[in-house]
Amino acid sequence: MSLDLQNVLQYYEPLLPSREDGMVVFLLNHKIIEGEIDEQFTYGDFKQAVRQTADLGSWTVPHSEAVLKNLLNYFIERPPDQKQRYKLTEYALKFIAMVDQKLNNPYRKFPLRESFERYTSFNAGEIQTISQFESWFQQGFNNTTKQSIIDHLEALKDDVNQSIKDLNLLLYNESEDILETISEFTEIFKGLNEKTEEIRDTLRLGNNLEREINAVVNYFYERADSFQPGSQVTGTDYLQAMEDYRKSESIQREVRNFFLVIDSKIGQLREKIIFASNKLNDLQHNFRYQSNYKLNIKRFLDFVLSEAGYSKDGPVMPAGFPVKSIPSEKFKYTIVHYLEVFFPIRKMVQQLPLDREYQHAERKKIEKEITRQQRIAALVSHYKQKLQQAKEMDFTKEFHAMLEQDGDVEVAINVSYEMVIFAHNSKEFKLIIDPGLLASSGATNIQSWQTNIIQK
């Protein structure tokens, strides 16, 4: 499935409301479930929900009209023939169900190993036909079953994430009751230990299932391989055996791909549990630092009391009592005077004088070259069309005619080159060039010669 990102960008805000607007939808759904308001509620019910949501979140009460405008169409709609009432849309109910599924996943109450045992219990010895293997696959590994196992793993990952958050709160808690902290840490790690055992059992069940499926695939392979050339078994039986083997291989690939996804998610859980285990070292360091701090405070108190004198007004410290000074370092702060020369000098662009004669001469050269190229293109097109009609052409006369007419030898040479190439690449046309000079061309500075090209 491919998404149009521009379309998502355009409708992102109305499809995913802000926290203030979204909590209004959740509160309205809660009131409908509790029977406090009707499923088709009024605008007064909506305004009261907006105020209660602001009190719950401790933020300023927004304008009800603005909130209604944001939620209308996607989360709230008007029922038919009820212009003064509103109701939650199907999209809003699905959105609420998705959030509830994430926060209150029902699979958290069931061990992961039970789901795997229920869906992956399989004995290769019971499989005799491909229909039995396909029946097990459809019942044990359909899309609903796969999604149930993945949802169970997601719930387990949410539990581990919450355990890590609880551990961090305990680490930064300033409670002086060490025994209570250790007890709470123990409870959290007891739950993590149970999840570790579930992961280990899951991997064991997955390995057992893979071995059983390999045994089934080998069984169908041996059946197909048992047919020998020249045996009296018909070819239909052999083709059916090969088809059964290919179907078993397809099922094996489906199960293997599914367990690759499972292995990836279990790997994430394993890393999170290892990360949580490192929190024990952090707790040990915290206890050590707290112990050292209390010990130093006690030593300091003993030292102060031993050095202090007593009077009617209370303990008095002696004049020579050591007082630690605050660490300091002398430094020199230099003030730089404001100087204009520190800033870059603005430079103006100097306009160079224009050389009119040079500009005119270069422009004439460019115009002459452009005119020459246009003339060459026109003559080449003319002679190609003429050659295509006559199929044969004496180009010697044409060459000198161009030379006398244009007075430019470059034009005549370039046109000749193009025509020679054009006639050479086609067996249909013939271009005749006389190697001798014409009598009328004696006044021109054009010489020609004859060359014999021999292919070895």
Q: Is it the case that residue 202 has pLDDT exceeding 80? A: no
150-189: pLDDT as tens digits: 777 777 777 777 777 777 777 666 665 666 666 666 666 6
Task: Work out the average pLDDT over 377-381.
Answer: 87
Q: Is the pLDDT of residue 408 over 60?
A: yes
Closest CA to 199 of 165, 152, 137: 152
405 pLDDT band, cuts 50/70/90, is: confident
Which comes out higher in pLDDT, residue 191 or 339? Answer: 191
* pLDDT score of 450: 42
Percent of the chain whose predicted confidence (pLDDT) is above 70: 74
Percent of the chain with pLDDT over 90: 0
Question: In terms of pLDDT, which residue wins out, 385 or 104?
Answer: 385
How many angstroms separate the CA atoms of 26 and 49, rounded? 10
Instruction: Assign 210 a pLDDT band (cuts: 50, 70, 90).
Output: confident
Q: Which pLDDT score is estimated for 453? A: 37
Q: How confident is the model at residue 439 (pLDDT cuts 50, 70, 90)?
A: very low
pLDDT band at 452 (very low <50, low <70, confident <90, very high): very low
As a whole number, mean pLDDT of residues 348-361 equals 82
Domain 106-277: state its class.
mainly alpha
pLDDT at 294: 79
* Tens digit of each residue's pLDDT (9 = 90 or more) over 116-135: 666 666 677 778 888 888 87
When pLDDT is averaged across residues 452-456 and rounded to a whole number, the result is 37
The more confidently predicted of residues 268 and 131 is: 131
pLDDT confidence band for 342 (50 / 70 / 90): low
Q: What is the mean pLDDT of residues 270-278?
A: 74
Of the candidates 122, 264, 115, the one whose C-alpha atom is nearest the C-alpha of residue 202 is 115
Q: Is the pLDDT of residue 141 over 50?
A: yes
pLDDT, mean of residues 293-320: 78
> 3-state SS string over the chain?
CCCCHHHHHHHHHHHCCCHHHHHHHHHHHHHHHHCCCCCCEEHHHHHHHHHHHHHHHCCCCCCHHHHHHHHECCCEECCCCCCCEEEECHHHHHHHHHHHHHHCCHHHHCCHHHHHHHHHCCCHHHCCCHHHHHHHHHHHCCHHHHHHHHHHHHHHHHHHHHHHHHHHHHHCCCCCCHHHHHHHHHHHHHHHHHHHHHHHHHHHHHHHHHHHHHHHHHHHHHHHHCCCCCCCCCHHHHHHHHHHHHHHHHHHHHHHHHHHHHHHHHHHHHHHHHHHHCHHHHHHHHHHHHHHHHHHHHHHHHHHHHHCEEECCEEECCCCCCCCCCCCCCCCCCCCCCCHHHCCCCCCCCCCCCCHHHHHHHHHHHHHHHHHHHHHHHHHHHHHHHHHHHCEEEHHHHHHHHHHHHCCHHHHHHHHHHHHHHHHCCCCCEEECCCCCCHHHCCCCCCCCCCCCCCC
Please give the structure tokens belonging to residue 428. 């249909």
Binned at pLDDT 50, 70 and 90, residue 228 comes out as low
User: Residue 239: its pLDDT value, please?
Assistant: 83
pLDDT at 449 over 50: no
241 against 191, higher pLDDT: 241
Mean local confidence (pLDDT), 260-276: 76
Q: What is the mean pLDDT of the chain?
A: 76
Kindly list the distances between the CA atom of residue 105 and the CA atoms of 33, 109, 162, in Å, as whole numbers in the listed order. 19, 8, 13
Provide mean pLDDT across the span 243-249.
Answer: 86
Q: What is the pLDDT of residues 83-93, one digit of tens each?
A: 788 888 888 88
CA distance 328 to 331: 10
| Same fold across 12-101 and 106-277 | no
Span 19-41, average pLDDT:
88
CATH topology of domain 12-101: Arc Repressor Mutant, subunit A (1.10.10)
Domain boundaries, the chain: 12-101, 106-277, 365-438
Specify the pLDDT at position 372: 87
